[in-house]
Chains A and B, each alone.
Chain A
Amino acid sequence: MMTFDQNAFLIIFTASLIAISCGLLGVFMMLRKMSMTGDAISHAVLPGIVIGFFISGSQRGLEVIIGAGILGIFATLVIDWLRQKARVQLDASIGITFTLLFAIGIILINLLAYKVDLDQECVLYGEIAYLPIDLWISDSGFNFGPRITYLAILNLALVGTFISLLFKELTLTSFDENFSSVMGIPSKGINLALMSMVSYTTVSSFEAVGAILVVALLVVPPSTAFLWTKKLMPLIRLTCGLGIFIAISGYYLAYLVDSSIAGMMVAVSGILFLASVLIQGKKPKFTWELPWNKRRLALEDKQL
């Protein structure tokens, strides 16, 4: 059997990869004032996962990721449509859309229970501690190592490529969407591409950390980093650094008190954020009402 140290390394390594992927996307979601859309997506993909699971018969099929991706984009479009055409407030349209889709997902799980062995608790909370025993074993019996670690590496590679390729477009459309449209940059397409990446990242990270930690990783590290810097590159670096720190400290604190690693990671990031608010709050030049609001919403979401 594996030693404790090797397991600890694998868990921390995987959690860091997921935290960095989420943080990179989260920075742009925050700058677009769309952090809660990320939350909505992470819940709204549930029916897509169930249907993908039903079609492929496996939790690991490509159908699951495609189903989740479609639902993620669908949720984004519904939110946009409610806001622009039906004149519903943004927060209300987010609340309506994702709760409805999530509920449909839950009902589908119950209806298809005989066919779909999908644990609702696993979807919500995840269990990264089981990572070292969930191995990727080839047909010939060769053991490659933990499957979720490979998923996280692939996810970070794709997110990193996406952001470095579209860095200037993502920045411009986040700052001034109208201006980019006038210049002929497809701002709607770039927005949907970002939402697809968020959907994919959510699904890819589900088994390890669950829907709630994904939201926390999307929202909290970028908001915390934004309290410390007003420059984009340092903001992105600090967000990644915070992700790694949260993974390490979350793991060891959970080990100490024998509790959920995912839960402890969220708790650590929340405490870091509050500490940052208290320290930075003394400097009057920063407006920190915005991230504070997001944090409040994230807390409300956790009680859901």
Chain B
Amino acid sequence: MITQVDNPILEIHDLIVSYDQSPVLWNVDLSLPSGKLIGILGPNGAGKSTLIKAIMGLVTPSSGYVKVFDKTLEEVRSQISYVPQRESVDWNFPASVLDVVMMGTYGKLGLFKRPGKKEKDIALSCLDQVGMMSFVNRQISELSGGQQQRVFIARALAQEADLYLMDEPFAGVDMSTETAIFHLLKEMTAKGKTVIVVHHDIHSAMNYFDWIIMLNMHLVASGPNDQVMSEEMLRKTYGGKLNLLTKVTDLIKQKDFNPLKS
């Protein structure tokens, strides 16, 4: 079930990505609407991270192409923002929270220029949006997992982009932070930004995302949440993993009843 859209913000055409001859993504062909909160779902090793890395040009596809705003990546770099997986960096790095968030402004600054007051103000307002104002001068080595995630999101906000790609921003984050981040993402899409999130939890995906992409090396589904979220599609995506499948069916049954999350 793959829904294509007119005037897409992102168009992926026949994308194949392989590492060492073994393909990770097969013939992914999709287009995405702008101003939506979009979730990428799929089991481990389904190529979710690889897909967003291919969108940003961090991995080179064997064939196919990606177009953002109907242009090539090089032309629109400043409009794209990225939140990498939290574990991808060493949090022992000698930097303060403000230093890291300021890094988001470096792309627009250009080579050799030092960040000044304008960049600092941008960074502070982004930290305010993620509720981290009281941590401005804290060293990043002294943050909890959820706080690290908020810093990364603030850094992405500081890029002032139109398309945001986030790799597992909810991994290892507690429930209140998860809700707060989802509200922030909703606010961003309300302002016309497009947010694409690699996500693990099927239940919260059903509640929060406008548009869902299901991936298991090949593209299983891409479409509006209410049309795509069905047991059949989940079975196709997570198929063979029986244990998980029962859990998924349970979740579908109790779709609107979850005492932990009410």
State whether B107 touches A178 (Cβ < 8 A). Answer: no
Are B107 and A168 closer than 8 Å at their CB atoms?
A: no
Contact for A176 among B74, B84, B159, CB less than 8 A: B84
CA distance A232 to B107 in the complex (A): 21
Say if the beta carbon of A59 comes within 8 Å of chain B.
no
Once the chains bind, are B78 and A179 in contact (CB under 8 Å)? no
Residues on A with beta carbons closer than 8 Å to the beta carbon of B74: 184
Give the distance in Å from the alpha carbon of A178 to the alpha carbon of B58 in the complex: 7
User: Is B141 part of the binding interface, using a Cβ–Cβ cutoff of 8 Å?
Assistant: yes
Roughly how many angstroms separate A166 CA and B155 CA in the complex, as a whole number?
20
For residues 230 through 248 of chain A, which have their beta carbon under 8 Å from a beta carbon of chain B? 230-232, 235
Given the interface pairs A166-B112, A168-B106, A184-B77, the reply to whether A175 lies near B93 with Cβ below 8 Å is yes
Asked if A256 is at the interface (CB within 8 A of a chain B CB), the reply is no
Cβ proximity bits A42-85 to B, threshold 8 Å, 1 near / 0 not: 00000000000000000000000000000000000000000000
Contact in complex: A179, B103 (CB < 8 Å): yes
Of B58, B96, B155, which one neighbours A181 at CB under 8 angstroms? Answer: B58
Count of interface residues, chain A, beta-carbon cutoff 8 Å: 30
Give the shortest distance, in Å, between B16 (CB) and chain A (any CB). 20
Alpha-carbon gap, A87 to B21, bound state (A):
14
With CB as the reference atom, state the residue of chain A lying closest to B137: A231
Q: Is the CB of B78 within 8 A of A175?
A: no
Contacts of A166 in B (CB 8 A): 111-112
Closest residue of chain B to A31 (Cβ to Cβ) is B93
Q: How far is the CB of A98 from chain B (nearest CB, A)?
A: 24
| Interface presence of B180 (CB below 8 A) | no
Closest to A182 in B: B82
* A304 lies within 8 A of chain B by Cβ: no
Q: Contact mask A31-44 → B, CB, 8 Å, 1/0?
A: 10100000000000
A229 at the interface (CB under 8 A from B): yes
Chain B residues 81 to 136 lying within 8 A of chain A, measured CB to CB, are: 81-82, 84, 88-90, 92-96, 99-100, 103, 106-107, 109, 111-115
Given contacts A168-B115, A175-B93, A175-B100, contact A185 B106 (CB under 8 A): yes
User: Which residue among A176, A178, A179, A232 has the maximum number of chain B CB atoms within 10 Å of its CB?
Assistant: A179
Contacts from B to A (Cβ < 8 Å): 20, 53, 56-58, 74, 77-78, 80-82, 84, 88-90, 92-96, 99-100, 103, 106-107, 109, 111-115, 139, 141-142, 155, 159
